[in-house]
Structure 1
Amino acid sequence: THAEDTLIGVYGESHIEVARIEDAKGKCFLMQGHSDKAMEYHHKALKKKIDVLGPINSSVLSTRMNVAAAHRVRQELDEAATVYREVLNVQKLSLQREIHPHKRKQLTDDIGLTMRMLREVQREKNRSLDSMGSIIEEKKEHWEADWGAEDGRDEFQSQAETFSNYDCF
């Protein structure tokens, strides 16, 4: 965009404002359903923010949350959970070190949000596992209906034994 090009021209590619624009673009791409582009922009922003602000800055954690959200949209639930846990660990450590009451309150709220996101990812993973269990059960019922419970197993066992008698090497 013109604004981004202007910022890059004035401040340079690694300026924090460029990273913030990239992060915002990532959010826009995610809302438009372009998770690949969203992930690309969030990672660009994350690298710049870490280089400039360090890994535990709240702006860096916000971008990490955006990365986790993009993983969720892509159904990469293990990756999303990992990122949420990383953020949560930093937030808890920051809370232990913080002495200002208003910052402690903000960190407590942030921890609550991150924990909620982590629980939602876990529920999504559980639903996915439940669905897989249902599919497996349906396939088993279909197999038994087509072949009969015992006939199917006997046929499969017979084929497996025949196959194992061949020397392939």
Structure 2
Amino acid sequence: MSRIKVLGIGSPYGDDQAGWKAAELLAQRAAIQSYAPDMLCIEIYDRPGMRLLDYWQGENIVYIIDAVVSGGAIGAIHRFQNMEIEEAQCIVSSHEMGVAQALQIGRALNQLPENIIFYGVEILQAAHGRDISSSVARAVCHLVARVEAEITRTLAGLI
């Protein structure tokens, strides 16, 4: 049986917390809590960069949730899968080394999961404040509902 791993990535500052907040909220959902750890694992990482290769090693299905800066509307939710992530030139991580770059290196090293789904929440910039903005917080709630539904459908198909 395949396990799903969710990686909430970002930093503890401002809207860059979007990936963390989404992972935290997702882990609190009753439907998500009903799955055993060998079926679903949710983890949070601070600006992982190349360490993503280690975090997704051996996994079949990986969801990555992060804040992105592409010039889109604040709070917009982006979804890309597998090669679309690398091809989405408009998506720029709010970190020095983004998911797309880690994917390129993982592909070159033959160290990619079968299926990677990237969800990004559009932010204005990676701020240094403590609080997440209300528009990004609302978007995170919508994103969590989408990811929960998608994971539930996927796991139902795996059982």
The TM-score, its normalising length taken from structure 1, stands at 0.24
Higher helix share: 1
Higher strand share: 2
- Name which structure has the greater RCO, CA cutoff 8 Å, separation 6+: 2
The TM-score, its normalising length taken from structure 2, stands at 0.25
